[in-house]
Amino acid sequence: MKSTVNNLDIGYKASVADKCVFTHVDANDHLIIVAVYVDDFLFISKSLKFVEFSKFVTTLSLSSGCT
């Protein structure tokens, strides 16, 4: 799964319970949870700015063809 590899490459940790759920904590202790289903992503965080930034970084990672 290309998105799985990309999420791991940009600092997300895969969940032990579900290989399509990833977490990341930034330097400001903002937690984000990303759930992936086929080609859909669900970003969950208390910080809207962190969600927007994470969506941007994920989009760049996927469009750059990193694997």
Q: What pLDDT digit, counting tens, does each position of 30-55 carry?
A: 899 989 888 888 999 998 998 998 88
- Whole-model pTM: value is 0.73
Mean pLDDT of 21-26: 89
For residue 60, the tally of other CB atoms under 10 A from its CB is 12
Mean pLDDT of 5-17: 72
Question: Over pLDDT 90: what percentage of the chain?
Answer: 16
Report how far apart, in Å, the C-alpha atoms of 36 and of each of 11, 44, 59 are.
Answer: 15, 12, 13
